[in-house]
Structure 1
Amino acid sequence: MTGPVYEDWIAWSQLFTDDAVYFDHHYGRFRGPSEIQMFLETTMMYGRHCYTALEWYNIDGDRIVWKGINRADHPDPAQPPFEFPSLQIIHYAGDGKWSSEEDWWILAEMTRYAKGYWKACQAIDPDFPQQLSRRHWGDVEWARPEDGHQARPSWFGREDEIPVIRRIDDMTFGERV
């Protein structure tokens, strides 16, 4: 709930150990809570329209594997959302902390999703991404916010403090793979 649902990327990053490694197959490796926070807030701020609904999860010892559906609501509420899947692998380190996270998604699927979303917004409501619409949380009841929840990600209101990352070359932190 802390990260993917309530979008509190500061609190989520603080749930990682000091030596944790966060690996995103596209963006690279990020080490420790500070770098993980920077990665999450910069990419999530740029993708402000995107939220992640939990599709399924599996817990095996200290490893949790879960499939998320990255969604962007269609500016026409009668239309289905735009979406692409991702797979996360998280390792529990004990004492309420994570030692690692791996995120896997397919660039071509994300690109198709983004192009469709932006085309619909331009045709219907170019300001729609600013609304932070989150209408389709899926079927896992405990993994969605309460009715009436208004999205306010941890970067909200701090946009001037956070570097704008539109592409990998804009990142001055982390390790490219």
Structure 2
Amino acid sequence: MSAYSRDELIAAFAGFEATVDRAARTRDWDPWVDQYSDDVTYVEHAAGTMHGREQVRSWIWKTMETFPGSYMTSFPSLWTVVDDARGRVICELDNPMRDPGDGTIISATNISIVTYAGDGKWCRQEDVYNPLRFVAATVKWCRKAEALGTLPDEAAAWLRQYGGDR
């Protein structure tokens, strides 16, 4: 049994989401990372397992300041499940990219499992997704921006490296 009530988990996750939303808007990733315990374990299936807040901080800053992460505008949860017996919240997160120039919204989703540590901190996060879906969404975004004449250089370089043939 979890030491945390359902109400505490719901309130803590609402705070987590608000902080992540603010980080996405301001592009200051430190408050997001500061929500993790010092000894957090972060499992990211494409990037590997990170141990400790500072390792997560380095990864989040690099990921979110490099294309395509730098073009993701928010990370809203589409649904959540509170597992109060285990002190966890499971959610599906959307990862929409900025408008390529015609109002199109292109995104991919992932499932995140976050485990609460108390006092507004989270001691574990695991992101579960198919990386190829993120690649496909990013290629789609690049192709759309290319057709609109709005493809930035960093996205063009990414497309050359990962986009494959037309």
TM-score by length of 1: 0.66
The answer to which structure, 1 or 2, has the higher relative contact order (CA under 8 A, 6+ apart) is: 1
- What corresponds to 1:15 in structure 2? 35
Identity in percent:
22
Which one has a larger percent helix, Structure 1 or Structure 2? 2
Structure 1 residues 129 and 122: alpha-carbon distance in aligned structure 2, compared to 1, 3 A threshold:
same
TM-score by length of 2: 0.70
Q: Distance in 1 between matches of 2:60 and 2:92?
A: 18
- What corresponds to 2:77 in structure 1? 54
- Structure whose CA Rg is larger: 2
The structure 1 residue matched to 2:110, chosen from 83, 86, 111, is: 86
Question: How big is the shift at 1:109?
Answer: 0.7
What value does the CA root-mean-square deviation take over the aligned residues? 2.2
Q: Distance in 2 between matches of 1:44 and 1:27?
A: 13
Question: How big is the shift at 1:129?
Answer: 8.6
Question: How big is the shift at 1:74?
Answer: 3.4
Q: Distance in 2 between matches of 1:19 and 1:119?
A: 41
Q: Distance in 1 between matches of 2:114 and 2:138?
A: 26
Checking the alignment, whether the CA contact within 8 Å between 2:23 and 2:31 is kept in structure 1 is no
The structure 2 residue matched to 1:112, chosen from 131, 136, 161, is: 136
Checking the alignment, whether the CA contact within 8 Å between 1:49 and 1:129 is kept in structure 2 is no
Q: What runs of 5+ residues in structure 1 fail to find an aligned partner?
A: 131-166, 168-177
Letter in 2 for 1:30: M
Deviation sequence 1:21-47 (CA, Å, 0-9, x none): 011011011111111111111111112
Give the paired residue count.
130
Deviation sequence 1:90-110 (CA, Å, 0-9, x none): 000111111100011111211
Q: Distance in 1 between matches of 2:50 and 2:38?
A: 11
Letter in 2 for 1:66: C
